[in-house]
Amino acid sequence: MSTVAPVGDAALPAVLDEWEPVIGLEIHVQLATASKAFSPSGVAFGAPPNSLTDPLVLGLPGTLPVFNRRALELAVRLGVATSSKIRARSRFARKHYFYPDLPKGYQISQYDEPLCEDGAIDVLVGTRRMAIRLQRIHLEEDAGKSSHEGATSHLDLNRAGVPLVEVVTAPELASAEEAAELMRSIHRLVRWLEISEADMEKGQLRCDANVSVRRRGEDRLGTRTELKNINSFRFVQKAIEHEILRQIRILETGGRILRETRLWDAMGGVSFPMRSKEEANDYRYFPDPDLPPLVVDAQIMGAVLGTLPELPGPRFERYQRELGVSPDDARTLVSERPLAEYFEAAVAARRPEAAVGVRGRAVANWLLTELLGALNGDDKAIGDSPLSPASLAELVDLIEDGTISGKIGKDVFESCYASGQSPAAYVESKGLRQISNEAELLKIIEQVLVTCAKQAADYRAGKEGLFGFFVGQVMKATGGRANPQLTSELMLRALKS
Amino acid sequence: MAELTAHEVSEIAHLAMLTLSAEEAETMRLELSAILESMTALAAVDTSSVVPMTHAVPMDLRLRADVVEPSLPVEVALGAAPARAEDAFVVPVVISEA
């Protein structure tokens, strides 16, 4: 068994001038149903081994599959959200292979008539939005889990029969980074649509990658290898980068790429061959005689279309265009739906006077830096925020209309985050209103110049660096409530007179 | 349609995880060849205007509500297992083929 040593990332850019990677992903997503795809056993992670089986899951004779309507609705939702063509009549097929985690001797899947075809998904690479085409999305059932113990395997069939969709991209991802971002986009989208929790540690989102390279300018695709079971965003990128370099090195030394399946070993940062790739017809697919055509009727389409939320990609654009949010902040805001919903609720709660066109900018700043920072510190999700969207909007309004300074704003934020109190009420009760009254400020400035007569003399003798000191003294005397800009103006005038 | 070769029969047997003696393989070769020959005869019929039929009954897939029903007790589920270790089925390791 040959292994390939890890290669430094530094080697990548230079060889990529000559070689073009071509990558396609196959991503399995577990659908968030209560029961299995074709039988009524429950679906639960971490249940005692073999406690979630029934005669169908065990492949016992005399059983017939009956498909789960919820699984169909969730899959159609993903199809619609990716602008896929939804087949009014699709078909289940048997995919045959003999492995003990598949007691029936075949997996129920879809082959030549999948549920969804020709879709596309929004991928954010950095802050660049691109569309990656999806060849198909089909329904299938999961297999059981086997763990190897010496000469035997131990089998837990709890996972067998759990409904999945397999999403297959067109082979048009051009880098490991794009592949990792595509996986992030799928993860974000299925969570956004509440199709799946997509927890990778529980195997609810799994990824295989098809990787090939060709000389730039070449039309024909190179021989591809398949990387199996790369189950984190980081591993996807690393495994694919490693595979691209491995192939380039073989080709540059006159070698030939074998069409094979390789397993990524995350610990060693290497991949090794698993088995020679079986051709598709080795699975001897045929239409499942137990399952008549799967029909997507108007009722199902209506239910899906009626509940489809605005998607991350369009929101990413809208936040920048209509709300003045920076591309980086917009990307973070659409990373998960609860965060985007919180942001929109806060923007909607702002006073009508707030500047149109940039209403979201300051909200995004406070939300992403202060609030997320505090929530992370407390290990809380946005949904558990003690500060409501309306309170965050109020705080931003208080700062933008000059009632309080940004610096006082941070104190107000901390207090209100801790107490859940409304920022406006807190500012009133603590007398934190900014002092923007000239006469009031001048009185304080005169007092400071009397107390600090020596420094004033030094300043007037040319030590202009002391200016900040005087402003600081005013802030100290007012508990930070002096309007900083006005204070600077008045202080400058007072010192020059 | 030419007859199947012995090699083709052994490949099909391999995919189906069957071990055939030389004698059985030859019987299979002749029988499978005869089946293929019948199919070839059928293939001569012009079906270009006929919609493919995979089910004999004009019926759409019935769906069930996503409702959980009790699973089999573990003891029952494992009842027919030739070997078990605690609550897991025990099976021979399937060696991956290079």
Residue A108 sits in the same domain as residue A231: yes
- Is pLDDT of A451 > 60? yes
For residue A275, the model assigns a pLDDT of 60
Of A304, A324, A348, which residue is a domain's last? A304
Interchain CB contacts (distance < 8 Å): A and B: 130
Q: Please say if the pLDDT value at position A161 is more than 90.
A: yes
Instruction: Give the minimum alpha-carbon distance from A149 to chain B in angstroms, rounded to a whole number.
Output: 8
Q: Are A452 and A381 in the same domain?
A: no
Residue A228 lies in a domain: yes
Residues A230, A279, single domain; the answer is: yes
Question: Same structural domain for residues A156 and A289?
Answer: yes
Query: For the domain bounded by B1-45, which CATH number is listed?
Result: 1.10.20.60
Decide if A196 is inside a domain.
yes
- Per the model's pLDDT, the better-predicted residue between A274 and B27 turns out to be B27
DSSP letters along A8-59, please? -GGGHHHHTTTEEEEEEEEEEEE---SB-SSS--B--TTPPTT-S--TTTTT
- Whether B51 and chain A come into contact, CB under 8 Å, resolves to no
Residue A349 pLDDT > 70, yes or no? yes
Predicted TM-score of the model (pTM): 0.83
A143: number of Cβ within 10 Å:
19
d(CA A472, CA A492): 13
At residue A376 the predicted structure's pLDDT band, cuts being 50, 70 and 90, is: very high
Give, in degrees to the nearest 5, the angle at Cα A92 between A173 and A115: 45
Residue A415 shares a structural domain with residue A446? no
Distance from CA of A417 to the nearest CA of B (A): 41
Going edge to edge, which strands form the sheet with A106-109?
Answer: A106-109, A93-96, A286-287
| Residues in chain A closer than 8 A to B86 (CB atoms) | 49
pLDDT at A6: 44
Share of chain A above pLDDT 70, in %: 96
Under an 8 A CB cutoff, do B83 and A152 touch?
Answer: yes
Q: Which of A296, A263, A312, A21 is nearest to A137 (CA)?
A: A296
pLDDT at A65: 96
Residue A293, classed as helix, strand or coil, is coil
CA proximity to A111, closest of A284, A314, A313:
A284
Query: For A179-189, what is the mean pLDDT?
Result: 94
DSSP A221: P
Q: Sign of the C-alpha dihedral, residues A436, A440, A444, A450?
A: positive
Contact A422, A392 (CB under 8 A): no
User: How far is CA A487 from its chain centroid?
Assistant: 45
- Residue scoring higher pLDDT (A402 or A193): A193
Which region among A286-295, A432-441, B14-23 has the lowest average model confidence (pLDDT)?
A: A432-441
> In this predicted structure, what is the pLDDT of residue A5?
43
Looking at per-residue pLDDT, the higher value among A33 and A403 belongs to A33
Between CA A275 and CA A291 the distance in angstroms is: 32
Count CB neighbours of A64 within 10 A. Answer: 11
Domain count, chain A: 3
Across the interface, of B64, B71, B86, the residue whose CB is closest to A42 is: B71
Cα separation, A218 vs A221, in Å, equals 8
> What is the pLDDT of chain B when averaged over all its residues?
87
What is the chain A residue with the closest CA to B54? A287
Range among A132-136, A349-353, A394-398 rated most confident = A132-136
Name the residue in chain A with its Cα closest to that of B53.
Answer: A287
Q: Which of A151, A156, A282 sits opposite B88 (nearest CB)?
A: A156
Do A460 and A420 fall into the same domain?
no
Give the residue from A304, A322, A346 where a domain finishes.
A304
- Which pLDDT belongs to residue A276? 52
Q: Out of A167-171, A316-320, A475-479, which region has the weakest mean confidence (pLDDT)? A: A475-479
Residues of the domain holding A381: 312-430
For residue A486, pLDDT over 90 is answered with no
Residues A142 and A224 in one domain: yes
CB A215 within 8 A of CB A246: no
pLDDT at A115 over 80: yes
Bridge partner list, A295: A89
Name the 3-class secondary structure at A227: strand
Residue A482 carries which DSSP code?
A: B
DSSP-derived 3-state class of residue B86: coil
Cβ distance B71 to A41 less than 8 Å, yes or no, reads yes
Q: Does residue A389 share a domain with residue A459?
A: no
Looking at the structure, do residues A156 and A243 belong to the same domain, yes or no? yes
Residue A4 lies in a domain: no
Residues of B in contact with A51 (CB under 8 A): 71, 74, 77, 87
Residues of B in contact with A67 (CB under 8 A): 61-64
Task: Decide if A2 is inside a domain.
Answer: no
Our CA-based measurement puts residue A164 at a distance from the nearest CA of chain B, in whole angstroms, of 14
Q: How far is B32 from chain A (nearest CA, A)?
A: 16
Indicate whether A1 belongs to any domain: no
Where a domain ends, among A376, A399, A430?
Answer: A430
Same domain, A423 and A442: no
* Cross-chain Cβ contact B96/A274 below 8 Å: yes
Q: Could you tell me which of A300, A327, A324 has the C-alpha nearest to residue A313?
A: A327
Asked if residue A104 and residue A222 are part of one domain, the reply reads yes
Residue A26 has pLDDT above 80, yes or no: yes
Q: Is A3 inside a domain boundary?
A: no
Q: Which amino acid is at B96?
A: S
Integer Cα distance of A302 and A291 in angstroms: 24
Domain chopping of chain B, boundaries: 1-45
Of A34, A156, A293, which has the smallest distance from its Cβ to B68's Cβ? Answer: A34
Query: How remote is the C-alpha of A196 from its chain's centroid?
Result: 13
Both A453 and A400 in one domain: the answer is no
pLDDT tens for each residue of A268-309: 888 888 765 444 457 889 999 999 999 999 999 998 999 899
For residue A70, give both structure tokens. Answer: 């919820």
Sign for the CA dihedral angle at A177, A181, A182, A187 comes to positive
Q: Could you read off the pLDDT of A225-251 as tens digits, one per residue?
A: 999 878 888 889 999 999 999 999 999
Q: Which of A260, A194, A192, A196 has the alpha carbon at shortest distance from A228?
A: A260
